[in-house]
């Protein structure tokens, strides 16, 4: 099982910044999904900006979400926090 989303921020046109439970920070580009019927409402950028975290993934409403494994595997790595051993 891949890490789950703990924070999300809308960055720019159809791109969201995700922080995962393992402290990795990645960028996910929603635009490649906009031609699928379920994701058509996300073409409205003001709606797309309303992204939020719910149960380890991201959602926009009760019908639009992404599988958390898809988010993790298809996102571009931005940063990782290295936890120091105590």
- 40: pLDDT strictly greater than 90: yes
**Average pLDDT of every residue of the chain:** 92
Q: Distance between CA atoms of 3 and 73, rounded to whole angstroms?
A: 10
C-alpha distances in Å from residue 46, one per residue of 20, 40, 69:
24, 13, 25
Residue 38 confidence class, pLDDT cut points 50, 70, 90? very high
51 vs 13: which has the higher pLDDT: 51
Domain extent listing, the chain = 5-79
What secondary structure does DSSP assign to the chain, as a single string?
Answer: ----EEEEEEEETTEEEEEETTSEEEEEEGGGGTTSGGGGGGGSHHHHTT-EEETTEEESSSS-B--HHHHHHHSEEEEEPPPPP-
pLDDT of residue 81: 59
This prediction has a pTM of 0.87
- 35: pLDDT strictly greater than 70: yes
| CATH architecture observed for domain 5-79 | 2-Layer Sandwich (3.30)
pLDDT of residue 85: 52
């Amino acid at each position: 099982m891949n890490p789950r989303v703990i924070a999300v921020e809308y960055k720019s046109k159809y791109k969201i910044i995700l922080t995962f439970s393992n402290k990795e920070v990645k960028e996910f580009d929603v635009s490649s999904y906009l031609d699928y019927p379920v994701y058509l409402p996300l073409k409205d950028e003001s709606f797309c900006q309303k992204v939020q975290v719910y149960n380890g993934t991201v959602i926009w409403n009760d019908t639009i979400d992404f599988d958390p494994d898809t988010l993790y595997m298809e996102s571009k790595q931005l940063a990782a926090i290295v936890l120091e051993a105590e």
